[in-house]
Amino acid sequence: MPGVLDCITVLDLSNEIAGPYASMLMSCMGARVIKVEPLGGSPERSDPRFYLWNRGKESLTLDLQSPEGQRTIRKLANNMDILIHNWRPSNAIALGLDYNSLKSTNPQLIYCAIPPYSKVSPQAEDPGDHYSVAADMGVFGDQTSAEGPSFVYQPLVAYGTAFTVCLAVSAALYIRETEGVGQRVEVSLQQGALAMQSAGFISGPSLQGGRGTSLRQGIRVGIPIYRLYRANDGWFFLACGNNTFFNKLCILIQRPELVEDQRFRDAPWGIPSEHYDALSDILEPIFERNTVAYWVELLSGNDIPCAPVQRREQYVEHPQIAINEMMVTVDDPTIGPSLQMGVPIWMHGAPGFIPGPAPLPGSHTTQIIDEFAL
């Protein structure tokens, strides 16, 4: 069954995470993705994650610093639907691979640039990766055991950029279908950072004590009915995200008077922070009386959202993961069988698929040049 991007060819000149991740998602939707690597293969192949981000692609090895390599890549670009790179503007111009140099010979090209900072930003020529941009944009986490912001290892900026790239490219393809011309689209890492934390910018007097407010005292971080709690054998997360869930909780724990308590009347997000401790003091000893399994079964059975805190291995082994095909085994020629994320987006009539593992370096070079660059 063809994917929604069947017959679309992508030239992926990017490295790091955002560009390869975005083009991997496109390959799951049926696109043919050509991964351009330096001679000998990308140094990023030493990172096991490379084999996820670049699965299902074809590998072309070229020396882009040589005149011959530059001529070849421009010939390839003339026959592509989408080109992706993460260079700064001056780097693209130096290689003759800026949009103005390519659009005259391929006016239908969707040219996607993923620089660290926007082309119109004063920082446009500044170097940066997803971690440095995260620091610059204030993307950080809360750690209950330490004061101040904490470094977030998860590459949230790169993921946000990748998802936004897919949206931007899809919109450009739609415009091309209707108007017959391509265009340059840009999704900087800076914009990806904004996409991932936009909800955190919501503020105002009416939201005092709302989502995002934290009171740092031991494990007491965040809204007292939307946080971790300790049972007598582990931890679980209580997620009363609206007033109805809070009301059900109060009845379940036989404390219905809390519903009418003026301190908590605007639960969950409107509870003033000065009353967080009071509600936590009530709930903590109740939850510590029984096991995680007891509370998860009881709360879930009464339509109160919750989940146990689990190890990664437990998450992967959950039956729902298998039912939803969220994890699949990919037999990679370099690293062997590996457990990887499944197809993240399913569409009616074109559910998507994983074309195969990551390619060996340069394994498609001759075929691709013969097909597109002669």
Whether 144 has a pLDDT exceeding 80, the answer reads no
Give the C-alpha separation, 230 to 15, whole Å: 42
Read off the pLDDT of residues 254-275 as tens digits, 9 standing for 90 and up: 999 999 999 998 999 999 989 9
Q: In CATH terms, is domain 9-187+328-372 a member of 1.10.10.10? A: no
For range 299-311, the mean pLDDT: 95
CATH topology match: 9-187+328-372 vs 213-230+235-308? no
Residue 201 structure tokens: 């910018």
Band the pLDDT of 212: cuts 50, 70, 90: very low
Whether 218 has a pLDDT exceeding 50, the answer reads no
Q: What are the respective helix, strand and coil percentages of the chain, to the nearest 5?
A: 40, 15, 45
Identify the CATH homologous superfamily for domain 213-230+235-308: formyl-coa transferase, domain 3 (3.30.1540.10)
Cross-strand bridge partners of residue 329: 339
Least confident stretch, 13-27, 57-71, 340-354: 340-354
For range 78-102, the mean pLDDT: 94
Give the amino acid at 31: A
Residues in Cβ contact with 251 at an 8 Å cutoff, skipping those fewer than 6 apart: none
Band the pLDDT of 313: cuts 50, 70, 90: confident
| Element of type H or E holding 19 | helix 18-28
For range 311-340, the mean pLDDT: 90
Whether 6 has a pLDDT exceeding 50, the answer reads yes
Q: How far is CA 276 from CA 235, 282, 341, in A?
A: 19, 10, 38
For range 114-143, the mean pLDDT: 86
Residue with tokens 């995260």: 134
Task: Give the DSSP letter string of 194-229.
Answer: HHHHGGGG---GGGTT-TT----BTTB-S-TTEEEE
pTM for this prediction: 0.83
Residue with tokens 């914009």: 191
Domain positions in the chain are 9-187+328-372, 213-230+235-308
